Structure 1
């Protein structure tokens, strides 16, 4: 049921199962991002990618490959293998008294 996707215990169990079954590294469907806002993810479908390529303007970034080291943004884990997912994500509304603000330019001028 859709209501389960707002239950912390359910999200933790789904994340553990997805990590094990899909072999994509640690999965976090809830937690905090670096500025301290909370997030929650509600997955509807997930597909493992057999192949893909990435390009930024005219620069070929190559194809995704499995990573041995898993990185993260706060509690959000960057998956070790490429997947395509459909779902929804929710974040706390930004509150300057509770969340960190942006203290630097987020993008390089080279790609602006």
Structure 2
């Protein structure tokens, strides 16, 4: 099992943010890749403390039951997740997004007026094995979309999380490669969204994806994570941006 806690890896990312080498657009930090709820909501969280294109940022991805996606971020859309996913969104909102560690494996995430979300993370034999394999892989493997595709196909069945992709295209047309070196599962999660209970974590009838990025059917958290976008072709038309609550 993983000897250090998710909180420890998060603190290390905050105090010593480090970008991977290269000329692509790059980000590093930790993330909750996604988790679906019984009401049909889907949530995801990104904390990239290091960015090659601007300041680090927090972001929450929210899919409401009618299928509309919104990304809330504390950085402008052109410097955060909407730069790559905006074409699939109903809107991008600049808002205060906070992630507070309340324990070694407990994280509370807030978007004022929108979201109160608590997470409890756990290590399992599958996550420990995947973390060990990921750290043992040479850097050259992480540059191969073919091999990353194979690893994504391995992760899904091991974690019982549905289809997962570590490489491919995002909605705005750029290519991506992800390198998660530490993996945990969500053991428990509760959220209040738009003032209402989101229900229990539960797989969707049909797994959600944004182009080649698949949202897992169970909560998957990753740390020591890098993502790069080797292709930075002009993006497709993105969702309208607005400023939300910043208090």
TM-score above 0.5: yes
For structure 1, the residue ranges without an aligned partner over 5 or more in a row are none
Q: Is the 8 A contact 2:145 2:168 kept in 1?
A: no
Contact 1:47 1:85 in 2 (8 A): yes
2:212 is equivalent to residue 67 of structure 1: no
Give the superposition deviation at 1:93.
6.0
Please give the TM-score of this superposition, normalised by the length of structure 1: 0.78
| CA–CA distance in structure 1, aligned partners of residues 159 and 215 of structure 2 | 14
Structure 1 equivalent of residue 139 of structure 2: 2
Q: Is the 8 A contact 2:173 2:233 kept in 1?
A: no
Rate the CA distance shift 1:65–1:20 in 2: closer, same or farther, 3 A.
same
Equivalent of 1:101 in 237, 241, 245: 237
Aligned length: 107
More strand by share: 2
Paired position in structure 1 for 2:84:
none
Unpaired stretches in structure 2, ≥5 consecutive residues: 1-137
Aligned counterpart in structure 2 of residue 89 of structure 1, from 207, 227, 239: 227
TM-score, length basis structure 2: 0.39
1:76 is the counterpart of 2:207:
no
| 1:37-48 alignment runs, 5 A limit | 37-48=174-185
CA deviation map 1:72-96 (0-9, x unaligned): 1011001111111121111246443
C-alpha distance in structure 1 between counterparts of 2:169 and 2:163, whole Å: 15
User: Does 2:159 match 1:18?
Assistant: no
Q: In angstroms, what is the RMSD of aligned CA positions?
A: 2.4
Q: Secondary structure of the equivalent of 1:44?
A: strand
